[in-house]
Amino acid sequence: RKMAKRLIPLLDRVLVEKIVAPTKSVGGIILPESAVSKINEAKVLAVGPGRRAAQNGEIIPMGVKVGDSVLLPDYGGQKVDLGEKDKEIFLYSDQEILGVVESN
CA–CA distance, 79 with 51 (Å, rounded to integer): 21
pTM summary value: 0.76
pLDDT score, position 36: 47
pLDDT score, position 90: 93
- Residues 3-62 have pLDDT tens digits of 456 788 989 999 999 887 655 555 666 656 555 456 688 999 999 998 888 889 888 889
Buried b vs exposed e over 14-36: b needs ≥16 C-beta within 10 Å?
A: bbbbbeeeeeeeeeeeeeeeeee
pLDDT score, position 96: 93
- 73 versus 26: which is more confidently predicted? 73
How many Cα neighbours within 13 Å face the side chain of 97?
27
Count CB-CB contacts under 10 A for residue 104: 2
- 103 versus 48: which is more confidently predicted? 48
Read off φ and ψ for residue 5, nearest 5 degrees. Answer: -85, 160
